[in-house]
Amino acid sequence: MINPMDKELILLVDDEPNIIDLASLYLGQEGFRLLSAEDGLQALARFEQDAPDFIVLDLMLPRLDGWEVCKRIRSTSDVPILMLTARDDDIDKIVGLELGADDYMTKPFNPRELVARIKAILRRAEPRRNAPQNREAVLQAGNLKIDPARRTVRVGERLVELRTKEFDLLLTLVENESLVFSREKLLEVVWGFDFFGETRTVDVHIAHLRHKLKGSTAIIETVWGVGYKLVVEG
């Protein structure tokens, strides 16, 4: 039986043994428990079998690439995922975020920064994991209803499936209806002050929300040069 005082279990997915060894060395020094996988199919098997608390996922993997692995995991789980990419290419980062990754790093990376990012993401995830299940009433903005305790969203009678950060972002805007948030403020509130990403992350998630909330009378408006706010039409 695993001691409950042990640190989180991290799954490292990369087909480069030196990357696994380097990450394992630094994460092991911090007390994390570690698993590894060298291809996408093995990563999914490890995920199903061992239920890791965090996944470090390379994009360029044999048998099944990191994008597809992330997509399949996100269909059933909100486990934090940090993606690794060998290219400093915005499109890789944006696609990763769209699929539900929590953060990304470009290879080669500083292993101390990897540790710092993992700790930061786990800190942000902790309140959600420990939150009471009946702490808040259902919120309503127009025909949009949000149940924070059950983390469900409905437009009229239609149930809307949202990823973790999409839900958190929408909840923040609904709780502060008509207030304007800058992208930087949304990063701080939703992703955490120690998030290492960029404001483009917010734009990607807003675009997804707008698409998924079609038919809602609660509209996310762009305030040019400032940020975003939620308003109710009609």
CATH number reported for the structural domain that contains residue 76 in this entry: 3.40.50.2300
Question: Sign of the CA dihedral 152, 153, 159, 164?
Answer: negative
> Of 130, 155, 176, which residue constitutes the final position of a domain?
130
Residue showing tokens 């890791």: 52
Q: Are residues 126 and 145 in the same domain?
A: no
pLDDT in tens, 78-118: 899 999 988 766 666 677 777 788 888 888 899 999 999 89
Q: Are residues 122 and 159 in the same domain?
A: no
Contact 169, 175 (CB under 8 A): no
In a domain, 4, yes or no: no
Q: Are residues 204 and 111 in the same domain?
A: no
DSSP assignment string, 8-49: -EEEEE-S-HHHHHHHHHHHHHTT-EEEEESSHHHHHHHHHH
Q: Residue 52's pLDDT is what? A: 95
Which H or E element spans position 181?
A: strand 181-182
Q: Is the pLDDT of residue 192 over 80?
A: no
Residue showing tokens 């675009």: 207
Q: Are residues 69 and 150 in the same domain?
A: no
pLDDT in tens, 39-75: 999 999 999 999 999 999 999 999 999 999 998 998 8
Q: Are residues 118 and 152 in the same domain?
A: no
Q: Are residues 114 and 72 in the same domain?
A: yes
Contact 174, 139 (CB under 8 A): yes
Q: Residue 111's pLDDT is what? A: 93
Q: Which of 82-96, 140-154, 197-211 has the lowest mean pLDDT?
A: 82-96
Report percent pLDDT > 90 for the chain: 59
Q: Residue 3's pLDDT is what? A: 44
The CATH number of the domain holding residue 177 is 1.10.10.10
pLDDT in tens, 148-190: 888 899 999 999 999 888 999 999 999 999 999 999 889 888 8
Q: Are residues 124 and 23 in the same domain?
A: yes
In a domain, 3, yes or no: no
Q: Residue 128's pLDDT is what? A: 54
Q: Residue 133's pLDDT is what? A: 44
In a domain, 151, yes or no: yes
Q: Are residues 110 and 148 in the same domain?
A: no
Q: Are residues 103 and 162 in the same domain?
A: no
Q: Are residues 65 and 172 in the same domain?
A: no
Question: Mean of the per-residue pLDDT values for the chain?
Answer: 87
pLDDT band for position 196 (50/70/90)?
low
Helices (H), the chain: 17-29, 40-50, 66-74, 90-98, 111-130, 164-175, 183-186, 200-212
In a domain, 1, yes or no: no
Q: Are residues 94 and 146 in the same domain?
A: no
Q: Residue 194's pLDDT is what? A: 59
Q: Residue 132's pLDDT is what? A: 46
Q: Are residues 95 and 71 in the same domain?
A: yes
Q: Which of 9-18, 124-133, 153-162 has the lowest mean pLDDT?
A: 124-133
Domain range for 19:
9-130
Q: Structurally, how many domains does the chain consist of?
A: 2
> Of 130, 155, 184, which residue constitutes the final position of a domain?
130
